[in-house]
A = this chain, B = another copy of it.
Amino acid sequence: MVGNELRNEVAALRRAAAVLAASDDRTRQRALFLMAAAILSSREEIRRANDEDIAKAKEDGISPSLLHRLEFTDEKVATAVKGVRELAMLPDPIGRTLVKRELDPGFVLEKRTFPIGVIAMIFEARPDALVQMAGLCLRSGNTVVLKGGREALNTNRVLCRIILEATAEAVGCAWLLGIENRADVDALLSMEGLIDLIIPRGSNSFVRHVMDNTRIPVLGHADGICSVFIDESADLDMAVRISVDAKCQYPAACNAAETFLVHEAIAARFLPMLADAFRQRGVRMHCTDEVLRYIPDGIRATEMDFDTEYLALECAIRTVSSIDEAISHIARHSSHHTDAIITSSMENRDRFFSLVDSADVFCNASTRFSDGFRFGLGAEVGISTSKIHARGPVGLEGLMTTKWLLSGSGETVAEYSGAGGRAFHHKDLI
């Protein structure tokens, strides 16, 4: 798209955002059901587009795992459509009253939830992700620019058209814009004032590129360097079980563990147990000298290993002399995503909970639980490692801002000023 043309299209989304934000709950619910029905009734058209993408991808020799993500199978379509209908049944996120306070009799202040406005979502080559993202924005009253992975170009184009055609009349505005070129993504990054929030998903380097090249707030995370600390009082069988789950259950996920910190008091007993379990699953172990004493077939670790997100069956292992050394290792090396302690000591659990400054801090559970669905948030927008706005797994709530609404009957600040002025009584009504 030519630069100015894209800018005009995003400016139109900004105007549409006011319309969508003012739409009522039933209108957005109805639109979501229309969206679900249109996807089902256009199954053949979507399939043809997806087949084209798959044929092209095979020609290009893409990896089996990417091909798997690209395929929009009947099962995935059914799950995506079910997700859209479930979104419709969630309570309306718009207009929730968070504060209701009488400043003075009849002079009422409310703080209510309100859509953020225009959101740009950039994500990987999964057509089902497009459907979920579009549904989340429609439910939350935000207009959206969607950019999916280029491998899914044809599928995404068809999906965007079908979704918009099915819903635009019901909500009274064109609330969705699909873009296709990477160059357009870079153009979006400079549209502060038009775009309110960017949610990038994908490779670390891509998310980092977005964060480093825009003044628009970004919700997400680049690295996921998660640690598991095995304390001296840990149940060692439990520690092995959790370590294996955290490392091996899905190593490509951001919430998989990369670093294992082992209290030196149990190193001689625990490290051989851990190494056995990891060897069986083919995990490459980067070990400090201390650890190599107990895992002689390990690879000698460099300092860089503790700053590496392997996203593979590979990990770094070191010993620590105390819980505080573990905490300070995490402060220095963790990406503040998810860190876990395995311990029988409630005191140490509480110390770890209090001193580890990460979005998710776990005790005696796998780091892999860090996920919106597992947390019971419903659909997930992404996982944020920012401390501002939303932190950890983010659901619909992360797509909302608030507005302060004050209703009076002619009050002036002059009346409430100086000696003898009226006083506020600040009475909370909820």
Which A residues form the contact surface with B (CB < 8 A)?
Answer: 15, 17-18, 21-22, 101, 103, 107, 109, 111, 114, 116-117, 196-197, 211-212, 215, 217, 235, 238, 241-242, 244-245, 249-250, 327, 331, 349, 351, 353-355, 357-366, 368-370, 374-376, 386-389, 391-393, 401-414, 416-417, 424, 426
Q: A211-B215, A375-B109, A405-B361 are in contact. Are A366 and B411 (CB under 8 A)?
A: yes
Q: Is the CB of A364 within 8 A of B408?
A: yes
What would 4 more interface pairs be, CB under 8 Å, given A359-B404, A392-B404? A363-B406, A364-B407, A365-B411, A376-B424
CB of A207, distance to nearest CB on chain B (Å): 14
Interface centre among A15, A327, A375, A388 (most CB of B within 10 A): A388
Contacts of A375 in B (CB 8 A): 101, 103, 109, 404
Q: Is the CB of B109 within 8 A of A412?
A: no
Which single residue of chain B is at the shortest CB-CB distance from A363? B407
Contacts of A403 in B (CB 8 A): 353, 357-361, 391-392
Roughly how many angstroms separate A331 CA and B195 CA in the complex, as a whole number? 14
Contacts of A196 in B (CB 8 A): 387-388
Contacts of A392 in B (CB 8 A): 111, 402-404
Q: Is the CB of A401 within 8 A of B406?
A: no
Roughly how many angstroms separate A348 CA and B359 CA in the complex, as a whole number? 43
Roughly how many angstroms separate A241 CA and B410 CA in the complex, as a whole number? 7
Roughly how many angstroms separate A18 CA and B355 CA in the complex, as a whole number? 6
A-B contacts, 18 of them at CB < 8 A, read: A18-B355, A21-B357, A101-B376, A117-B387, A212-B215, A244-B412, A361-B403, A362-B406, A362-B408, A364-B407, A364-B411, A365-B406, A366-B411, A366-B412, A370-B404, A388-B388, A391-B403, A392-B404
Contacts of A212 in B (CB 8 A): 215
Q: Is the CB of A426 within 8 A of B376?
A: yes
CB of A424, distance to nearest CB on chain B (Å): 6
Q: Is the CB of B353 within 8 A of A405?
A: yes
Which single residue of chain B is at the shortest CB-CB distance from A340? B406
Roughly how many angstroms separate A374 CA and B242 CA in the complex, as a whole number? 51
CB of A288, distance to nearest CB on chain B (Å): 23
